[in-house]
Amino acid sequence: MPKDFYTNNNLPEAIYPSCPINRVLEGQTAIVTGSSSGIGKAVAIELGKAGADVLINYSSNKQSAEEVAKEIQEYGGKAFAFKADVSSEVEVQAMFSEALNQFGSLDILVNNSGIQQDAPIDEMTLEQWDKVIGVNLRGQFLCAREAIKIFKKQGVKPEISCAAGKIICMSSVHDIIPWAGHVNYAASKGGVLMFMKSVAQEVAPHRIRVNGISPGAIRTPINHEAWSTPEAYADLMRLIPYKRIGEPAEIGRVAVWLASDNSDYINGTTMYVDGGMTLYPGFESGG
């Protein structure tokens, strides 16, 4: 269990829960985009622990993707790495047909791929804008479209799940918290929020569930700068009422629950997994 090495409050040490392994996704198959590192990797591993077969999508780091696949195989599931840029229509289509070739069906899509390319707005290049919107928003559309085609064709298989398919859209607290210096990222995540809800409304009659997860500050490479020194960590804690950073596996476990029949009546909802970051921490005192 990782120790909170930068505890800056009077708790003895931050406590991270461990959870028993629960095979709630036995017999189900999943695609997790961007799962060679960070939150996507943890989501893929937790799905694997829960019994799912998983396609590990990556854009450049083949070796890490293969390591994630290997770890899932150790839990007894099938898993393989597949390179595809989620903003490319042909590459996304190739990925979905390979998943069907290898697994024979698809039950879960975790639309996770996301990048940041930060700059003040008057210095942001069109390339930085297009790249972030391309991966974070267009990528979610391209993948959801392919998954929904498959889910509609398959219909409900009651022995597998109450739903014909489940989509989880990885968003961010920045789908509702504005973020200066990151306008491309915040705009993409605001887009993901309304994309998720609109798709959920459209496909619910087909028994397809679409939900979002909005992580706050999670210990991954994307925000290394915000937690890797005691000063930065202390600064970050001003934004988190729960006074600790989140761990990737904590997002993974929420994904497992949202993908399982335990959440079957949940549709079009976002789970904010953020230690209270969206609770206006500036108002802890004053106002």
Q: Which residues are catalytic?
A: 185
One character per residue 5-34, x = contact with ligand BGC (rule: CB under 6 A): ------------------------------
217 binds ligand BGC (CB under 6 A): yes
Which residue is nearest to ligand BGC, using beta carbons?
172
173 binds ligand BGC (CB under 6 A): yes
Q: Which of 29, 57, 128, 172 binds ligand BGC (CB under 6 A)?
A: 172
The tokens of 238 are what?
């001003």
**Minimum separation from the CB atom of position 28 to ligand BGC (A):** 27
**Region of residue 49 (phi > 0: left; psi between -120 and 50: alpha; otherwise: beta):** alpha
**Minimum separation from the CB atom of position 217 to ligand BGC (A):** 4
**Minimum separation from the CB atom of position 240 to ligand BGC (A):** 9
CA distance 61 to 202: 35
Q: Show Cβ contacts of residue 80 under 8 Å, excluding neighbours closer than 6 positions.
A: 55, 56, 69, 102
CB 274 within 8 A of CB 216: yes
Q: Within positions 48 to 107, which residues make up the interface with ligand BGC, using CB under 6 A?
A: none
176 binds ligand BGC (CB under 6 A): no
115 binds ligand BGC (CB under 6 A): no
**Minimum separation from the CB atom of position 38 to ligand BGC (A):** 9
The residue among 165 and 246 lying less far from ligand BGC, judged by its C-beta, is: 246
Candidate segments 105-113, 156-164, 214-222, 262-270, binder of ligand BGC by CB under 6 A: 214-222
CA distance 170 to 31: 13
226 binds ligand BGC (CB under 6 A): yes
Q: Which of 116, 117, 269, 278 binds ligand BGC (CB under 6 A)?
A: 116
216 binds ligand BGC (CB under 6 A): yes
**Minimum separation from the CB atom of position 226 to ligand BGC (A):** 5
138 binds ligand BGC (CB under 6 A): no
223 binds ligand BGC (CB under 6 A): yes
**Minimum separation from the CB atom of position 287 to ligand BGC (A):** 22
Amino acid residing at 251: I
Residues that bind ligand BGC (CB under 6 A): 116, 172-174, 216-217, 222-223, 226
